Structure 1
Amino acid sequence: MSDLNQPKSLGFGLALALGLALPLASPFAAVAEGPFAGLSGYWTGGGTISLDNGSSERIRCKAVYAVNDAGNALNQSLRCASDSYRLEISGNISVSGGQVTGTWGEATRHANGNISGHASNSEIQARVDGAGFSAGLQVRFRGNKQSVSIRPTSGTAITNVAITLGKG
């Protein structure tokens, strides 16, 4: 479990996954058309982290997201915790022509990196990269629910992260 405390572990993937999935528009703002429209606000939920030794651990998360009026850019703040570790993630993500780009940072591990991929109105497929770490990310959202799947490809003993979040 020592890999969970290394800068290149889970923080990067969670930051991207949750940051991409959660924007909200004000009822007084222009009608948003971007893939992040309707995601802003407070989100909570949880899921599991699977490790390469075959074990898994439950995780709980709280997130706050702010989305621009067009629904194509978001800022996120995410806190997740389990019995053995804690994450504090921030991110800035935007979409143009279906292409996702952005940056993330994880405060407790002093890690950061870039995000790139594709987005539609209900799904994001992306890759997150940082020093010694990379992962595939899939975020699916529908109404007040979203599911996040992170599959690290290098830099950690984590094999999968699966989270479900609800708004409100």
Structure 2
Amino acid sequence: MAGTWNGGGSVTLDDGSSERIRCRATYHVAGPRMSMSLTCASDAYKFNLAADVQSDGNAVSGSWSESSRNVSGSIEGRGGGGNFQVLASAPGFNANISLQTRGNKQSVTIRADSQFRGANISLTK
């Protein structure tokens, strides 16, 4: 997983509209710890997600932040081997995030309960 990944997908907003986005993800892995940044943008929408997590067996926990909206919170879930299912939480916000890696291809699915409803992203290394 370590390294830089590029690709794109779509983001869905609370009004039901959907926009194509371009994305770049960078992962740094050191033993049971991983930090990541994911930046995605369309002509009218942008988000900058950063996370620091650590694993204890299959349990994953850590923190996340989204800089363009100045929000941060905790991450908890399960994962390993490049595949993760986590819940990112903050006051007034919850998002289920699924990340699956197979070779040099990665898919990221985000489902949220806020003005940002979700994203489907495909990346390659």
Kindly report the root-mean-square deviation, in angstroms, between the aligned alpha carbons of the 2 structures.
Answer: 1.5
* In 2: Cα distance, 1:60 partner to 1:157 partner: 19
SS in 2 for 1:105: strand
What aligned pairs does 1:118-157 form with structure 2 within 5 A after superposition? 118-152=78-112, 154=113, 156-157=114-115
Cα shift readout 1:13-38 (whole Å, capped 9, x = no counterpart): xxxxxxxxxxxxxxxxxxxxxxxxxx
Matching of residues 107-126 of structure 1 within 5 Å: 107-126=67-86
1:102 pairs with 2:25: no
Change in Cα spacing, 1:54 to 1:109, as seen in structure 2 (3 Å) is closer
Aligned with residue 91 of structure 1, among 39, 46, 51: 51
Distance 1:111 1:75 in 2: 17
Q: 1:48 pairs with 7, 10, 16, which one?
A: 10
1:54–1:110 distance in 2 versus 1, CA, 3 Å: closer
TM-score, length basis structure 2: 0.90
The equivalent of 1:12 in structure 2 is none
SS of the residue corresponding to residue 102 of structure 1 reads strand
1:123 Cα deviation from its structure 2 partner: 2.1
Q: Which has the higher contact order (CA 8 A, sep 6+)?
A: 1
Deviant stretches of 4+, over 3 Å: none
TM-superposition CA deviations, 1:102-150 (whole Å, max 9, x none): 1111222111011000113252111010121001111111111111111
2:9 maps to a residue whose letter is G
Q: Give 1 or 2 for the bigger CA radius of gyration.
A: 1
Spell out, residue by residue over 1:34-66, the C-alpha distance to the aligned partner (whole angstroms, 9 max, x if none).
xxxxx1111111101123433210111112211
Instruction: Identify the structure with the greater strand proportion.
Output: 2
User: What is the letter of the counterpart of residue 74 of structure 1?
Assistant: M
Please give the alpha-carbon distance, in whole angstroms, between the structure 2 residues aligned to 1:151 and 1:89: 14
Could you say which residue in structure 2 is the equivalent of 1:160?
118
2:117 and 2:37 mapped to 1: Cα distance?
A: 24
Give structure 1 stretches of 5+ with no counterpart. 1-38
C-alpha distance in 2 between matches for 1:160 and 1:77: 17
Structure 2: 5+ residue runs without aligned partners? none
1:67 is matched with which residue?
29
Q: Count residues in correspondence.
A: 125
